[in-house]
Each structure stands twice: as C-alpha cells, then as structure tokens.
Chain A
Amino acid sequence: MSGHENSEELVAFLDGALSTVDARRVEDHLESCSACRETLDDFRRTGQLLNRWTQIAPSPGFESRVLTQIRASARPRSASGGFGNLNRRIFGSPFRWAAVAAGIVLIAGAAYWASSLSRNEEALTEAEKDEIATHIDLYVDYGVISHLDTLQPMDATPPPGDESSVINTG
C-alpha cells in the first residue's frame, strides 16, 4: 500500500468503528508504517488524557428533590381524572368541530349578555337623572353639579309659588 493511512480511519480504528475488512487493512498497514503507528499512539494517548476529567457528583439530595418535583407536577393531572386527557380526547377526535362550534355559541352568548348589561346601565343612568333632579339642591351645595353635564339642558325654573327648588348659583 502506498502513502499513509487516512487519520480519520486511524481514529475510527482505535474506536473499533471500522468494518472487519477495513480494520484488517489498517492493521496490515500499521505493521509496516512506523509513522502511522506513531500517529495512532498519539491519538490513543490523547484519548487516555480525556479520562482525567473526572465525574462530578450531583448536589446532595438531588435525586429525592427532583423525584418529589416530578411527582408533584404529575399529580394534578391524574388526580383530576386528566384534563389533559380530556383535551386530547375532544380536540384529537372528530368532535373537535362540535367543540369549536360550542365555543362560538358561548362567545356569542357572552357578547349578547354583555350588551344587555350595558343597556341596563343606560336605564339606570336615566333613573339616576330623575333622582338627581329631585335632590338637585343637595348636589349644588356639594359642588357635584359642575360634573353632571347631562343636566345642562334641564329647565331649572321653579313652578310659580315654589321657592324651595330655586337653584342658587351665587
């Protein structure tokens, strides 16, 4: 064989990663090539040096700590009968479109409910206006009147003979 063995093949040879045929070829070459034997020896000693990086021990209590946390994180799912499983059953099945439709109906219902609440709120505001009109003198006394813009168009002129409801703007 002419030349030297490919160094990639030498490393793979050391690691026992060559086929029987290739390993035999490298062995044959090494018998007659001192340069390749030297390279192989350097690779071998480099590999041995790596063993100087010893293992570390996990911190004290590591195993029990992690096992406890894993058990804790797993518990809610199994204890509840498995919401995760329920999710998978619903959305991973042909019923998923029914689930989506049900969601849309729920959202629409919620929107209708919210708008009816808003309407009630407006009606309540009207009632408040009547209340305010009844006790307008109190609101004037406490300076609230300046914030009640909705009262501006109201006619505050007292009926003839009724002096008690005159607005004192002075």
Chain B
Amino acid sequence: MTGQDLYRDDPDVESMLAFQKGDDQAFERLFRKYSRPLVNFAYRMIGNRGRAEEIVQEVFLEVHRARGSYLPQAKFSTWVYRISTNRCLNELRRPERRLVATEDRDSDGEEGDRAALEPVSDGPDALQNLEVKRLQDAVVGAVRSLPVQQRTAVILCRYHTMAYREAAEAMETTESAVKSLIHRATVTLKDRLKSYL
C-alpha cells in the first residue's frame, strides 16, 4: 500500500479525486463543508472577518488550481488547514498588518461575535449578556496575545479538535513541538484567565 492509498478512505480525498476527474459538484461539496470552519480559523488567527474571508477564497482558489496535480499525501482536512495556516502566517508577517493589528478588534472583525452577544433586553438578561461578553473578550484577548506559533497550535487543537499529530502536519512541524507549544500556551492562558477559573 502506497502513502497515497492510505488517504483514499478519507471521503474528502475521494471528493478531491472526483473533482480531479471533472466532477465540479465534488469541489463545491468540499467548499461548503470547509468554508465556514476555515473562515473561523482565519478569523481567530488574524482577527478580521473580511480578510479572513479573502484568505479562505485564496485557499480554495489554490485547491481549485491543484486539480491537475493533486496527489493525496495527507487527509484533505490536514492539507487544506496547512494551506490556510501558511496564508494566515504570511498575512501576519506583512509589515502593514502589524500596524493595523490593534485596530482589528474595533473594526468589522468583531461583528460576528458582537451580533451574537448583543443584549436583547434590559434587566437581568442584559447584565448576564454583559458578563458573557466580558468573559469572551478576556478569552479572545488572552488567545490573541499568545505568540503566533502557540496561538496556531491552540486554535487548531482546541477550536478545530485536531490531534497533536494532525496539527503538526498542518503547521509543518513535529508532534513533540506541538505538545510543547500547547503546554506553554495552556500555562499562559491559565495565568491570564485565572480570575475566571
């Protein structure tokens, strides 16, 4: 059994291979399955919804272009998260990006969260929503202030339920490196969020 055969049981790899053979519906299935999780991944990484959506568009353009040359060498999810991770890291490295990073939380980036947590009435519900919002802000701030490699590992493992090995493949590093990153991030987060524990 070759390395490529290992992944042919993955239904998403099957879809990608079907797309390669001309089934455009298979590509759309993959897009509809992964676009929302990937928007959330990119959004958590870079903090701006508009840019996160653009990154997901670029990711799927890359998937589309890979039609002719695609060889399954990993689970489809690992592959597509690897592309997304690289795109997000490139985005974070852009010099102009560093200048505007602090503004993101006040721009459209937080709209989704804000809309979901908008108080619906006065009284106890409003107070409770305010408390929930405060806690969420603390969590968002704590995760976003992690060094980028730790943040990436936390987002992949905690929000996208990846095993260390799979996150390591997506980050193009080793499983033991991810174990260490997750540990250091968890210790930091425990410290920063201790008043909520």
Interface residues of B (CB under 8 A from A): 28, 31-32, 35-36, 39-40, 43-44, 49-50, 53, 56-57, 60-61, 64, 68, 111-113, 116-117, 132, 135-136, 139-140, 143, 154, 157-159, 163-164, 179-180, 182-183, 186-187, 189-190, 193, 196-197
Contact = CB atoms under 8 A, between A and B. Distances in A.
Given A15-B157, A56-B39, A46 B57 contact: no
A64 to B, nearest CB: 10
A58 B49 CA distance: 8
Interface string A77-99: 00000000100000000000000
B182 A53 contact: no
A46 B191 CA distance: 9
Interface of A: 7-8, 11-12, 15, 17, 42-43, 45-47, 49-50, 52-59, 62-63, 66-67, 69-70, 73-74, 85
B182 A56 contact: no
Contacts of A57: 36, 112
Contacts of A69: 57
Contacts of B60: 66, 70
Contacts of A50: 139, 143, 154, 158-159, 189
What's the dominant secondary structure at chain A's contact region?
A: helix
A67 B31 CA distance: 8
A46 B35 contact: no
Contacts of B164: 12, 15, 17
A70 B57 contact: yes
Contacts of B143: 50, 53
A45 B197 contact: yes
A62 B68 CA distance: 26
Contact of A46 (B39, B64, B136, B190): B190
